A and B are shown apart, each in its own frame.
Chain A
Amino acid sequence: MIRFILRRLLSTALVLLVVTFVLYLLLNVALDFFWDLRASTSPNIAALYESRTRLLDLDTPAVVRYFKWLAGVGGCVVGQCDLGIAWKSGQEVTDQLQGAIVNTIKLITASTIVAIILGIAVGMISAIRQYSGFDYFITFVSFLLYSLPVFWVAVLLKQYGAIEINNFINDPTLSSWVPIILVCLAMGLFWMGALGGGAKRRLITFSAASIITFATIYYILASGWLQQPSIGIVGIIVIGAGAAVVMTFLSTGLKNKRVLYATLSIAVIGALLYMPLQYLFYYVEMNWLWMFGLLIVAIGVAVAVGLAFRGPDPWDTVRTTSFTAIIIAFLIFADRVLQGWTEYSNDPAINNRPIATIGASAPNMDGDFWLTNLDSFTHLLLPSIALILISFASYTRYTRGSMLEVMGQDYIRTARAKGLNERTVIMRHALRNALLPLASIIPVDIITMIGGAVITETIFGWNGMGKLFIDSMRQSELDPIMAYILITGLLAIIANLVADFLYAVLDPRIRVNA
Chain B
Amino acid sequence: MSTNYDNQNSADLDEVGDNAIEAKETEGLSQGRIVFQKFLRHKGAMISIGVLAIVALFAFTALGVGAIPGWWQFTHTASGPVVNPGGAPTWSLSNIFSPGQHPFGQDEIGRDNFARVMKGTQISLVVMVIIGAVCLVIGTVVGALAGYYRGWIDSVLMRITDAFVILPVIVVGSILGVLVGGASGPMLGLALGAILWVGLARLVRGDFLSLREREFVDSARVAGASDFRIMFKHMLPNAMGVIIVNTTLIMSQAIVLEASLSYLGFGIQPPGISLGQLISEYQTSFATRPWLFWWPGLFIIVIALCVNFIGDGLRDAFDPRMKTIPSWRKMKKAERMAQKGAKR
Residues of A within 8 A of B (CB): 11-12, 15-16, 18-19, 23, 26-27, 29-31, 131, 139-140, 143-144, 146-152, 155, 159, 408, 443-444, 447-448, 450-452, 454-455, 458, 469-470, 473-474, 484-485, 488-489, 492-493, 496
Chain A residue nearest to B48 (CB atoms) is A143
- When distances are taken between beta carbons in the complex, the residues of chain A under 8 Å from B264 are 151, 454-455, 458, 470
The 22 listed contacts between A and B (C-beta, < 8 Å) are A12-B162, A15-B162, A18-B163, A26-B175, A139-B312, A144-B301, A147-B305, A148-B256, A148-B304, A150-B260, A152-B259, A155-B279, A155-B286, A155-B293, A447-B167, A469-B171, A484-B171, A488-B166, A488-B168, A488-B171, A496-B165, A496-B166
> Does the CB pair A26–B163 fall under 8 Å?
no
- When distances are taken between beta carbons in the complex, the residues of chain A under 8 Å from B167 are 19, 447, 485, 488-489, 492
Nearest CB in chain A: distance from B319 CB, A: 11
The residue from B44, B159, B166, B287 contacting A493, defined by CB atoms under 8 A apart: B166
Interface size class of B (residues with CB under 8 A): 35 or more
- When distances are taken between beta carbons in the complex, the residues of chain A under 8 Å from B286 are 155, 159
* B342 sits at the interface (CB 8 A): no
In chain B between 285 and 327, which residues have their CB closer than 8 angstroms to a CB of chain A?
286-287, 293, 297, 300-301, 303-305, 308-309, 312, 321, 325-326
Known pairs A147-B303, A151-B260, A454-B168; list 12 more (Cβ under 8 Å).
A11-B162, A12-B166, A16-B166, A144-B305, A149-B259, A149-B276, A151-B263, A151-B283, A155-B293, A443-B165, A454-B264, A458-B264
CA A339 – CA B169 in complex, angstroms?
42
Nearest CB in chain A: distance from B161 CB, A: 9
Given contacts A152-B279, A455-B263, A474-B265, contact A147 B168 (CB under 8 A): no
- Chain B contact surface mostly: helix
- When distances are taken between beta carbons in the complex, the residues of chain A under 8 Å from B266 are 473
> Does the CB pair B170–A454 fall under 8 Å?
yes
Given contacts A29-B179, A30-B179, contact A448 B168 (CB under 8 A): yes
The residue from A11, A143, A474, A493 contacting B305, defined by CB atoms under 8 A apart: A143
Chain A residue nearest to B159 (CB atoms) is A15
CA A492 – CA B312 in complex, angstroms?
29
> Does the CB pair A131–B178 fall under 8 Å?
no
Given contacts A151-B263, A454-B171, contact A492 B256 (CB under 8 A): no
The residue from A19, A147, A451 contacting B300, defined by CB atoms under 8 A apart: A147
Nearest CB in chain A: distance from B250 CB, A: 12
The residue from B171, B297, B312 contacting A152, defined by CB atoms under 8 A apart: B297
- When distances are taken between beta carbons in the complex, the residues of chain B under 8 Å from A473 are 174-175, 178, 266
CA A31 – CA B174 in complex, angstroms?
11
Chain A residue nearest to B293 (CB atoms) is A155
CA A326 – CA B259 in complex, angstroms?
42
* B252 sits at the interface (CB 8 A): yes
Residue of B44, B167, B266 with highest tally of chain A CB at under 10 A: B167
- When distances are taken between beta carbons in the complex, the residues of chain A under 8 Å from B312 are 139, 143
> Does the CB pair B263–A447 fall under 8 Å?
no
- When distances are taken between beta carbons in the complex, the residues of chain A under 8 Å from B301 are 144, 147-149, 152
CA A42 – CA B305 in complex, angstroms?
51
CA A458 – CA B171 in complex, angstroms?
13
The residue from A11, A131, A452 contacting B325, defined by CB atoms under 8 A apart: A131
- When distances are taken between beta carbons in the complex, the residues of chain B under 8 Å from A492 are 165-167
The residue from B44, B179, B260 contacting A149, defined by CB atoms under 8 A apart: B260
> Does the CB pair B175–A27 fall under 8 Å?
yes
In chain B between 120 and 167, which residues have their CB closer than 8 angstroms to a CB of chain A?
159, 162-167
CA A140 – CA B300 in complex, angstroms?
16
CA A469 – CA B172 in complex, angstroms?
11
- When distances are taken between beta carbons in the complex, the residues of chain A under 8 Å from B308 are 143, 146-147
